[in-house]
Amino acid sequence: MKKKIAVLSGDGIGPEIIKQALLVVDAINAKFNHQFEFLHALVGAIAIDATGNPFPEETAQICLHSDAILFGAIGDPKYDNNPKAAVRPEQGLLAMRKRLGLFANIRPVFTYESLIDKSPLKRERIEGADFVVIRELTGGIYFGEPRGRTENLQKAFDTCVYSKEEIIRVSKVAFELAQKRRKKLTAVDKANVLVTSRLWRETIQEMKHEYPDVELDFLFVDNAAMQIITNPKTFDVIVTENMFGDILTDEASVIAGSLGLLPSASTGFQTSLYEPIHGSYPQAAGKNIANPLATILSAAMMYEMSFQLIAEGALIRKAVEESIKAGIVTVDLNATKSYSTSEVGAWVVDYIKKS
């Protein structure tokens, strides 16, 4: 198989973790006789520094003409610490999602037996937890207009807007995924307060008859946040709006034991994008200590979802699992005996080559 992969390393630890994922992809391709062409492009703070635009047109065209996108992370303290910055790295991420039509973010949450005791949560609560959050990605308060500040700068405002079409298309992804899993869908909203949430609930209720085999329930977002921590094994598939999904998936990362373990996929009308759920972690940039496993697992999702190459994805997952069992992990998972980013990546590559 021949494919073109857009590679957007981004900022902070992005280049380091992407490098390890690409080495894993090379090992898989050598074993299974695939040929991938990597097309590198700028996004985020490095793109602002080079072009003034966090998502340059050249990057957009590379993404649009690729078969999949591997993405690292976006963010830089020099922008985070400047509330008056007119252009921000995160604007590149939002622009990329909008331009590519990436309306559905798919984030699996799971546990590894050998890491359960690394989680701050009790073993009996999280052992066996396995659910997926489907987050709407191109609507809501992150994109709504108008937004801004009043002339005297004493007030600021953001607008949350959703259409039925936006809700239907992402909920369809969630219902269909639930059908392939344990046939349970939980819709998370704040319908007791927000008008947009009432539209979400109404629309999903209307869709239910199309999926009679799926059990549907609803939770307010504050209750969902509590249940994810106290009883995560009750969830199968969760669907929610943009900001709620952003917050809940970061919260759910404590179940796995580290943000560095959870991959994600963003799908929609154009090329699908695969990325770890964590940020750019600028404090670790260049130190070779960042956990590359979420990015490597994102590559596994790419094989499975974009190319239907199930055996390839399974081998990557197995290699990651075995590396964790063997204790070949970065400092976020073992502070007393840790390995570097490149050492973890090399171990996974070696496992794949020897399998």
* Tens-place pLDDT, residues 4-14: 999 999 999 99
How do strand 2-10 and strand 35-40 relate by DSSP bridges?
A: parallel
Res 126: pLDDT: 94
Q: Which of 49, 67, 250, 350 is catalytic?
A: 250
What is the C-alpha end-to-end distance of the chain, expressed in Å? 20
Q: Which residue among the candidates 222, 287, 325, 353 is catalytic per the annotation? A: 222
pLDDT tens, position by position, 85-111: 789 999 999 899 999 999 999 999 999
Residue from 76, 118, 142, 236 carrying the catalytic annotation: 142
What is the distance between the alpha carbons of residues 120 and 110, in angstroms, rounded to a whole number?
15
Q: Do 296 and 240 lie in a common domain?
A: no
- Verify that 249 and 282 share a domain, yes or no: no
- β-pair partners for 132: 108, 237
Asked whether residue 306 is domain-assigned, the answer is yes
Boundaries of domain holding 182:
120-256
148 plus 243 within the same structural domain:
yes
Residue 256: per-residue pLDDT:
87
Phi, psi of 237 (to 5 degrees): -125, 135
Catalytic pick among 76, 246, 303, 332: 246
The residue type of 318 is K
Is 246 marked active-site? yes
* Residue-wise pLDDT tens digits, 204-216: 999 999 999 999 9
54 in the same domain as 127 = no
Domain count, the chain: 2
CATH number of domain containing 94: 3.40.718.10
Is there a single domain that holds both residue 169 and residue 244? yes
Distance of CA 131 to the CA centre of its chain: 14
Cα radius of gyration (the chain): 20
Catalytic residue (one of 118, 189, 190, 351):
190
Do 74 and 175 reside in the same domain of the chain?
no
**Can you give the pLDDT at residue 45?**
95
- Identify whether residues 251 and 160 lie together within a single domain: yes
- Catalytic, 164? Answer no
Distance CA(332)–CA(139), nearest Å, equals 33
Instruction: For residue 207, give Cα distances in angstroms to 163, 202, 269.
Output: 15, 9, 21
Residues 252 and 286 in one domain: no
Q: What is the pLDDT averaged over residues 68-77?
A: 95
**Is 26 one of the annotated active-site residues of the chain?**
no
274 is catalytic: no
C-alpha–C-alpha distance, residues 237 and 187, integer Å: 9
Count of Cβ atoms closer than 10 Å to residue 222 Cβ: 12
Mark which of 191, 224, 256 sits at the end of a domain: 256
What is the DSSP-derived secondary structure letter of residue 327? T
DSSP string, 196-225: HHHHHHHHHHHHGGG-TTSEEEEEEHHHHH
Average pLDDT over residues 3-29: 98
Lowest mean pLDDT among 35-39, 204-208, 257-261, 282-286: 257-261
Is 84 tagged catalytic?
no
Among residues 33, 71, 39, the alpha carbon closest in space to that of 265 is found at 71
Q: Three-state SS for 41?
A: coil
Please check whether residue 113 lies inside any domain of the structure: no
